[in-house]
């Protein structure tokens, strides 16, 4: 008889990056030998980067296996009808010791046609930021495609970019085509569509260990870029203690934030989706009828769709609660 599903944890997939730092090791105790650990892929079904279960009866099995073995019991009936066995979200923690490249992502249409991939809509939640740390969000003013090309050709793109100072608790939505970059000194949680397609348009003229500049995707970016001036990238929200407060909602994911100093019950019986819990502050205990797991800061767990109710207990935690 097949063992039923339970609260799942996965081995982080750690990514060394030219801009990465040591906060993922120092603050979240990620087990990396590198001094430039830029990303921890917490839950991934990106090809070649399958998350592996780290707890319980199915330890060692992949997220792809879960989707194929359990289908709608794992992800939810509507989610399974929409995405099949492709898990739809990629969940990360990112540490930028140096600024990331200035970049943008294609939408579903372009990504499907050119890369056989989902597009990439993503949101950020700032976990920690050094003094005066910032992110790049779009342009200071609306510009034309010709003006944009002129800036790129003359290496003056940075002059046109809009910068925003950030602090812990800030949240942003980055839609496809929107030009953006994480600045130096920023540690964040990222929730996105399952896609690893990035168009790099400027990389601060830095070089790799071999003395070469990293590839830019100037031509690909031209078809996908949004040149308008926007200010709707800030996510405004209110927190209510011991309740789930909506952080952001779109067609790809819904994210709540839960601030806890006691025990609460979360009823998912009407949700028809898996739920991902990201520990962004403190420590909590997540319980079902069958088992319980500890969620530390910098950890992630997945509640399968067939589990309709959980309780979460903590004296000092903040959790991002993500579903489809």
Q: State the total domains in the chain.
A: 2
Residue 282, domain extent: 244-323
- The total number of residues shown for the chain amounts to 324
Q: What is the pTM of this model?
A: 0.96
Our answer to whether residue 266 is catalytic in this structure is no
Rounded Cα–Cα distance for residues 157 and 85 (Å): 41
Same domain, yes or no: 107 and 249: no
Same domain, yes or no: 91 and 146: yes
Tell me the CATH number at 287. Answer: 2.60.120.10
Rounded Cα–Cα distance for residues 300 and 204 (Å): 32
* Domain presence at residue 1: no
Same domain, yes or no: 172 and 57: yes
- Among the listed residues 73, 82, 163, 200, the single catalytic one is 200
* Domain presence at residue 233: no
Contact predicate 269/317, CB 8 Å: no
Same domain, yes or no: 21 and 52: yes
The pLDDT confidence band at residue 316, using thresholds 50, 70 and 90, is: very high
* Domain presence at residue 151: yes
Q: Which of 195, 224, 253 is the C-terminal boundary of a domain?
A: 224
- Per residue in 108-143, pLDDT (tens digit) is 999 999 999 999 999 999 999 999 999 999 999 999
Same domain, yes or no: 92 and 161: yes
Q: 209 CB contacts (<8 Å, ≥6 apart)?
A: none
- One DSSP character per residue, 158-194 reads GGGEEEEE--TT-EEEE-TT--EEEPTTEEEEEEEES
* Domain presence at residue 239: no
Same domain, yes or no: 117 and 16: yes
User: What percent of the chain is modeled with pLDDT above 70?
Assistant: 99
């Amino acid at each position: 008889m097949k063992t039923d599903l339970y609260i799942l944890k996965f081995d982080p997939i750690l990514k060394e990056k030219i801009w990465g730092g040591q906060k993922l090791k120092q603050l979240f105790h990620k087990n990396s030998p590198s001094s430039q650990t830029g990303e921890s892929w917490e839950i991934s079904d990106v090809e070649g980067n399958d998350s592996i279960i780290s707890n319980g009866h199915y330890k060692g099995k992949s997220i792809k296996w879960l989707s194929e073995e359990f289908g709608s019991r794992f992800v939810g009936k509507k989610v399974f009808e929409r995405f099949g066995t492709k898990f739809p979200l990629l969940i990360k923690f990112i540490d930028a010791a140096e600024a990331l490249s200035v970049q943008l992502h294609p939408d579903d249409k372009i990504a499907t046609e050119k890369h056989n991939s989902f597009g990439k809509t993503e949101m950020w939640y700032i976990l920690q930021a050094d003094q005066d740390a910032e992110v790049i969000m779009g342009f200071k003013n609306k510009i034309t495609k010709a003006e944009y090309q002129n800036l790129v050709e003359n290496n003056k793109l940075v002059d046109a970019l809009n910068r925003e100072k950030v602090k812990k608790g800030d949240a942003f939505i980055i839609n496809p085509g929107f030009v953006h970059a994480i600045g130096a000194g920023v540690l964040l949680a990222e929730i996105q569509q399952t896609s690893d397609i990035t168009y790099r348009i400027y990389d601060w003229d830095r070089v790799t260990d071999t003395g070469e500049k990293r590839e830019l995707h100037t031509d690909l970016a031209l078809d996908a870029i949004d040149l308008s001036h926007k200010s709707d990238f800030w996510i405004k929200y209110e927190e209510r203690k011991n309740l789930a407060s909506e952080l952001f909602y779109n067609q790809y994911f819904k994210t709540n934030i839960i601030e806890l100093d006691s025990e609460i019950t979360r009823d998912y019986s009407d949700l028809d989706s898996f739920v991902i819990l990201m520990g962004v502050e403190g420590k909590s205990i997540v319980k079902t009828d069958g088992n319980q797991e500890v969620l530390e800061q910098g950890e992630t767990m997945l509640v399968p769709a067939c589990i309709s109710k959980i309780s979460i207990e903590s004296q000092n935690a903040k959790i991002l609660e993500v579903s489809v």
